[in-house]
Amino acid sequence: MTLELSHLNRRFAGFSALDEVSLSIAPGEFLALLGPSGSGKTTLLRILAGLDYPDSGSVLKGEEDFLATPARERRIGMVFQHYALFRHLTVTENIAFGLRVRPWRTRPSRAKIHERVDRLLARVQLDGLGGRYPTQLSGGQRQRVALARALAVEPDLLLLDEPFGALDALVRVSLRRWLRELHEELKLTTVFVTHDQEEALELADRVAVMNQGRIEQVDTPEVIYHQPATPFVCEFIGKVNKFGVRRHAGGLAAGAWVCEGDPWPERYNAAWAYVRPEQLRLAVPPAQPAWDAWLRHIYLAGSVAHLDLHVPSLDQSLEADVASEDLARLGLQAGMRLRVAPRSAVLFAQDAGGHTVERERWIWHAQDRVHA
Amino acid sequence: MSILRQRVLPGFGLSLGYALTYLSLIVLLPLAALAWKAVGMGASGWLQLLSAPRTLAALRLSLGGAVLAASINAVIGLLVGWVLVRYRFPGRRVFDALVDLPFALPTAVAGIALTTLYAPQGWLGRWLEPLGIQVAYTPLGVLVAMVFVGFPFVVRTLQPVLASLERDVEEAAESLGARRWQTFFRVILPLLAPTLLTGFALALARAVGEYGSVIFIAGNIPGRSEIAPLLIVQKLEQFDYAGAAALGAAMLLLSFVLLVLVALLQRWSQRWAESSR
């Protein structure tokens, strides 16, 4: 059943953790709450879990008032950031906890509990470790015990708070692929909180980007990445080059580069342009408008090379990304001169006072596609 | 590699030697002297002394009262520690400081104060007397004094552990469907048990050996409200050094057995913390 969150507000002493947050969560979807620390994402998750309550607003699950339901009756499974395993109980006892505390009328028999725990242990690939205590497990194993414990109560909604935050990079990547597969299999509505954009974009069906207690944009990872709704989303997701453009005879221009077309004739004379590093063309033919740039340094980071380009006419540096194997093909070397221009950009208008008008967004693409 | 291999902080040999020497001088030497003196009495003397009804009653009161007092302190100390750690209320710091008073007060002063309170004409005794409850000059008075002197131990040992209990564990229990009492008995209490037992053992040891505060309130009726330490003092006053030593040794042995039992229970209660891999 769809979870409908509307106009949630939550204030802590002096700051607003949630500010008019509305969101609907479809059954079976995998939703990421992504934002920097203090953006309210964990508060939102805790409200769903029944561990915190909003000052105003409502959460409806179909007809049911979710906020009036106590945490233990919400049919949720929660995985905490630091796992919150019961360290005095074995892995088996941890997983069985949610079943054992049920009133005897709804509690499964010992044999049934045993059977379900065994099945969950197999599912999270911890067969044979049921007798261990949490202190005897590695971080990734503890994480999976926490997940099995949450799944044991057969929840309708799975909540994960920074599920991979405390793990090292290698375990993190393999565990999140595994979690995605598990989700495909169980089709369980899942909400997870993360500050890691790569994690959110890779795992989730939809991503809600949060900032200062508000949801800036909710959409699929592709749309979030390619059509960011606000300047914050542009800057928070992925890497981005930012520069100002002003109105000239031919359109909005920065230095020698002009972007054709004009969404705001006579209304705004300036805008901020955001260009992704992989959207910079590096060898633009002389006939087309471009900046003269000086390649200051090449940072080789495995499969990708980051180029540090200085553009005198903008008086700033831009970053461009190319595949490392293209370095030789393009004959790139530190110190050389290049003609550089964006392939696409996201622009936000600036009013006469220099303030960004967040509602006025324009996504611009170069009209003639030339391989560079 | 030898066990004396290089550590981060050097001086293992020196500090171990010092610790053992100190422990021998302060603890073992007096105990050895006590045992030596007690052995001099001979087996028949022992048997005669320890089978006397007066001795048995005194030992029963001292040890039984101490176990009961430590149990009461475990429950009340847990409650007080919980309130002091979990809640913020005006006067909390003052209240917190008050916990240590039984440590600071000379035991005789505590005993006299308690007696004054609980005597049949005292502030509290006056109201208890009509109900048929007599505290002063009865075994109940002994218990009250033992509870008083042992009170700080449980609170002080529990406080840091309570403060470090992670809230998310309780939240996890709740989200898994546990009711509050289930969260307490299945999650919080097992985590506190080892520390609670440490506090219990300290309160127990203190109550067994308590002399000053108890003798004022007990009334010291032989066979009824007379504690073993008082019996020892009486033997000393009659220059019966061997008898005093024998009684002391018997108390020591029984206390030791009790403390070992507590230690075993404690080890069982934290079996989960023992081996990491």
* Residue among A95, A101, A138, A151 with most chain B CBs within 10 A, to mutate: A101
CA pair distance B256, B273, nearest whole angstrom: 25
Q: Please judge whether B272 and A49 are an interchain contact, meaning their C-beta atoms are less than 8 angstroms apart.
A: no
Residue of A nearest to B274 (CA): A135
Q: What is the mean pLDDT of residues A41-55?
A: 94
Q: What are the pLDDT digits (tens) for A292-334?
A: 999 999 999 888 999 999 999 889 999 999 998 888 888 888 8
Q: Angle, to 10 degrees, between the axis of helix A110-123 and the axis of helix A139-152?
A: 140
Q: Please judge whether A101 and B173 are an interchain contact, meaning their C-beta atoms are less than 8 angstroms apart.
A: yes
Residues 190-209 of chain B with CB under 8 A from chain A are 190-191
Q: Please judge whether B175 and A76 are an interchain contact, meaning their C-beta atoms are less than 8 angstroms apart.
A: yes
Report the run of H or E that residue B143 belongs to, with start and end.
Answer: helix B139-164
Q: Which residues of B touch A117 (CB under 8 A)?
A: none
B180 near A CB under 8 A: no
Instruction: Decide: helix, strand or coil at residue B250.
Output: helix
Q: Please judge whether B272 and A80 are an interchain contact, meaning their C-beta atoms are less than 8 angstroms apart.
A: no
Buried b (16+ CB within 10 A) or exposed e, B25-39: eeeeeeeeebbebbe
The pairing of beta strand A270-275 with beta strand A241-248: antiparallel
* Residue among B88, B166, B170, B176 with most chain A CBs within 10 A, to mutate: B176
Residue of B nearest to A49 (CA): B175
Buried b (16+ CB within 10 A) or exposed e, B170-180: bbbbbbbbbee
Give residue limits of the domains in chain A: 3-227, 239-371
- Give the one of A50, A77, A136 whose C-beta lies nearest to B275's C-beta: A136
- A3-227 to CATH, choices 1.10.10.10, 3.10.150.10, 3.20.20.70, 3.40.50.300: 3.40.50.300
The set of residues, in sequence order, having a beta carbon less than 8 Å from that of A301 and lying 6+ positions away, is none
Residue of A nearest to B173 (CA): A98
pLDDT (tens, 9 = 90+) of chain B, 277 residues, equals: 455 566 677 778 888 999 999 999 998 898 888 888 888 777 888 888 888 889 999 999 999 999 999 999 999 999 999 999 999 999 999 999 999 888 888 988 999 999 999 988 888 888 888 888 888 888 899 999 999 999 999 999 999 999 999 889 999 999 999 999 999 999 999 999 999 999 999 999 999 988 888 989 888 888 888 899 999 999 899 988 888 888 888 898 899 998 999 999 888 888 887 654 3
Q: Angle, to 10 degrees, between the axis of helix B241-269 and the axis of helix B228-237?
A: 160
Neighbouring C-beta atoms of residue A60, cutoff 10 Å: 16
Q: Which residues of B touch A166 (CB under 8 A)?
A: none
Q: Please judge whether A153 and B273 are an interchain contact, meaning their C-beta atoms are less than 8 angstroms apart.
A: no
Q: How far apart are the first and last CA of chain A?
A: 49
CATH code, residues A239-371: 2.40.50.100
User: Domains (ranges, CATH) in chain B?
Assistant: 43-276 (1.10.3720.10)
- Give the one of A73, A84, A88 whose C-beta lies nearest to B272's C-beta: A88
Strand order in the sheet with A76-79: A76-79, A157-161, A189-194, A30-34, A206-211, A214-219
Strand partners, A309: A295, A318
The pairing of beta strand A189-194 with beta strand A30-34: parallel
Q: Please judge whether A84 and B272 are an interchain contact, meaning their C-beta atoms are less than 8 angstroms apart.
A: no
B176 near A CB under 8 A: yes
Question: Six-digit token pair at B262?
Answer: 């507590």
- Cα–Cα distance list, A49 to A44, A53, A73, A188, B268 (Å): 9, 9, 10, 15, 35
Q: Which residues of A touch B276 (CB under 8 A)?
A: 135-136
Q: Please judge whether B171 and A101 are an interchain contact, meaning their C-beta atoms are less than 8 angstroms apart.
A: no
Residue A138 in contact with residue A75, Cβ under 8 Å?
no
Q: How far apart are the first and last CA of chain B?
A: 22
Using only C-alpha atoms, chain A has a radius of gyration, in whole angstroms, of 25
Question: Model ipTM?
Answer: 0.82
In this prediction the pTM is 0.82
CA pair distance A95, A115, nearest whole angstrom: 12
The set of residues, in sequence order, having a beta carbon less than 8 Å from that of A251 and lying 6+ positions away, is A258, A259, A260, A261, A262
